Structure 1
Amino acid sequence: MKLYSRAKINLFLDIVGQDPLDGYHYIDSLFQEITLCDVIDMNKASEDIVEFEPDSELNKNSTVHKALKLFKERFGIKTCYSIKVKKNIPIGSGLGGGSSNAATVLRFLAKEYRVPFDDLLEIAKNIGSDVPFFLYGGLCRVSGKGELVRKLSHKLKNVYFLIICPDIFISTKEAYSLIKDKNSVLTFPDLENISLITIDFLKKIVYNKFQKIIFNNFSSLGILYENLKKHLKAEIIFMSGSGSSLVAVYDNRLKRMKDFLYLKRQKCFKVFMAKPFYSVS
């Protein structure tokens, strides 16, 4: 069975506090699922096998291993699976690839064994902070430590993305350790009186608390950001998650295509075209 494990971007990301007991941070964020995806081939097998293409350390210990193990233990499943993940979403890019992989496997297993969504959600919370979001997908407000997810009915209108991924790995743990101010002074965007989110509205709300801090600590990423602002025709450019991916936002496919071809000629980083994704289910 071929499954599509899609990435996410953070249109708004604030750090609003920290749990004094476990040290995990509280966030308030607007997540958008996008069409950039890994492809997972999952089939029954004589033993559990998880493989990644290209080959990496993920073959030994990954969110996919954990999702399969926890699901089988929770529901007493004896059937084994061969899982092959073709990675297109760069690792350590702030696009949630690992969390998406885990959620995609969980959704497949839940359908196979008719497991209620709430039970699936409990497993997801024990794998990673972004995994619950990927069980919902689309556009969601995500808060708490990532476990509080509210799916929104809003849609992005005439919005197109370029996802620029330099060869810079930023661990989520390291990024959070750089945050010194744990208190928020911002308010989550007011979406009450709109149904369609336009470029003009995005210009008002796009925010990432990590961005300035990461640019200060990873100067090459900050320099790339400034160069992209000078040379691209994008309406907005921002960092997703804790980095290192940068998102360029367009209201016009032609402008995006011209910039895509320009960036491909640079051959300095990976670049993908993407758009918002909304599940039909």
Structure 2
Amino acid sequence: MILYAPAKVNLYLRILGKRSDGYHDIETIFERIALFDKIVLSSLKGSGPGERGIKIFSDHPDVPVDKDGLVYKTVDMLKRRFNISKGIEVRIFKRIPVASGLGGGSSDAAAILTGLNKLWKLSLSSAELIEFGKTLGADIPFFLSGSSFALAEGRGDKIVPLDWKMRWWHLLVYVPIRLFSKDIYEMYSKNVASDLTREPQITKILPLDAAAKSDRDKGSLARPGKAERLFPNPAKVTFGNVTNFIKNDLEEVVLKKEPIVAKLKKTLEKIGLAHSLVSGSGPSIFILFEKRKEAMAGKELLIRRFPVVKREGWEIFMVPTA
């Protein structure tokens, strides 16, 4: 069975505070993009070779393939829960950079959950898969939602799909630095007292109905179940008003920690590619465009003005909404 796991960007990410379990409560808007890892699932005879009949391979050396890795934990959880005796081989062909802020690991896990549900004829509903996904990682429920856009809260695992019909283009720039979400969130927590955060803008810019305006005036943002108030008319959500609110509370942490990412961001602003943002906990930066030809022109301009992107390890992708 062949599966394709898409990447994501965070169009908006606001940190609400640290939880008692060590995670952070957030509010974010995910967008699924057409940059895919390829995953091949193959049944093995009997229990198969490898621990518990689970055999994992990847063409990328930084993808964990042992029992401590997310892929192994995903397969093992379903095998244990449903007493699956058959062995399984998982081959992962990476195109989404590892530890890049683009959700590749979470998307791979979501695709594997979906694939094994079919391969092992478990007949799990989307809601049941999402519940399994929540136990494995905060971003996984979004990839299981089947939505191109979604509002997420809690740890990022409470998903409300957004019925946005637009299809945008993105210039993704991967800086060859490995950043881990846990470290970036911890750095953010330590810097909050130094006035690193800003007032959120999302409820002030997007078209709101009366109930949502009331929530905004009281100083509260949407919670699951209220997202339809924030976005009552998808037709009113345009490239113009979305590019007005793209924001990431973690961006300043990433820029402060990694000077090369800060230099890239400054160059993008200087050459007029203003709709740029660090995705998630970085280090990748995406630039948002309304049309493909604009993204192509932006790519050519960036390469001319910031030739560092041509160095080994750097990657540039031009992809639409998926």
Q: TM-score, normalised by structure 2?
A: 0.79
Contact 1:110 1:116 in 2 (8 A): no
Count of aligned pairs: 274
Q: Secondary structure at the match of 1:34?
A: strand
Give the alignment partner of residue 251 of structure 1, picking from 261, 272, 290.
Answer: 290
For the pair 1:76 / 2:83, whether they are aligned, the reply is yes
Determine helix, strand or coil for the equivalent of 2:136: coil
Contact 2:7 2:32 in 1 (8 A): yes
CA separation in 1, counterparts of 2:28 and 2:280?
10
Shift of 1:55: 3.0
Question: What residue is the counterpart of 1:164 in the other structure?
Answer: 173
**Is 1:53 the equivalent of 2:79?**
no
* Distance in structure 1 (CA, Å) of the matches to 2:84 and 2:301: 50
Do residues 191 (structure 1) and 235 (structure 2) align? no
CA distance in 1, matches of 2:98, 2:283: 10
For 1:195 and 1:71, how far apart are their aligned partners in 2? 40
User: Which deviates more from structure 2 when the two are superposed, residues 54-63 or residues 146-155?
Assistant: 54-63
Determine if contact 1:234/1:250 at 8 Å carries over to the other structure. Answer: no
Asked if structure 1 preserves the Cα contact closer than 8 Å seen for 2:126 and 2:145, the reply is: no
Q: Pairwise CA RMSD of aligned residues? A: 2.0
CA-to-aligned-CA distance 1:219-261 (integer Å, 9 cap, x gap): 2211111112223x53511110010000011123223223334
For residues 193-272 of structure 1, the aligned pairs below 5 Å read 193-195=233-235, 197-231=237-271, 234=273, 236-263=275-302, 266=307, 267-268=310-311, 269-272=314-317
**Structure 1 residue runs of 4 or more that deviate by more than 6 Å after TM superposition:** none
Which TM-score applies when normalising by structure 1? 0.90
Alignment of 1:57-206 (within 5 A): 57-60=63-66, 61-112=68-119, 113=121, 114-137=123-146, 138-157=148-167, 159-180=168-189, 181=192, 185-186=199-200, 188-189=202-203, 190-195=230-235, 197-206=237-246
Amino acid at match of 2:320: K
Deviation of 1:262 (Å): 5.0
> Residues 90 and 97 of structure 1 are in contact (CA less than 8 Å); yes or no, is this contact kept in structure 2?
yes
The answer to whether the 8 Å contact 1:7/1:89 transfers is yes
Which range moves more in the overlay, 193-202 or 268-277? 193-202
1:101-160 CA deviation, whole Å, 9 max, x = no partner? 000000111233212233322221111111111101321111001221111111224x21
CA contact (8 A) 1:155 1:196 kept: no
Alpha-carbon deviation of 1:199?
A: 2.0
**Secondary structure at 1:64 match in 2:** helix
Corresponding position of 1:7: 7
CA separation of 1:188 and 1:203: change in aligned 2, threshold 3 A? closer
User: Hey, which of these two has a bigger chunk of strand by percent?
Assistant: 1
One-letter identity of the residue aligned with 2:250: F
CA contact (8 A) 1:234 1:256 kept: no
Q: 45-54 vs 82-91, which deviates more?
A: 45-54
Q: Secondary structure at the match of 2:250?
A: helix
1:56–1:242 distance in 2 versus 1, CA, 3 Å: closer
CA distance in 2, matches of 1:143, 1:211: 19
Query: What is the identity, as a one-letter code, of the residue corresponding to 1:214?
Result: V
Bigger-Rg structure (1/2)? 2
Deviations 1:57-89 (A, max 9, x none): 512242211110101111111122111111111
Secondary structure of the 2:200 match is coil
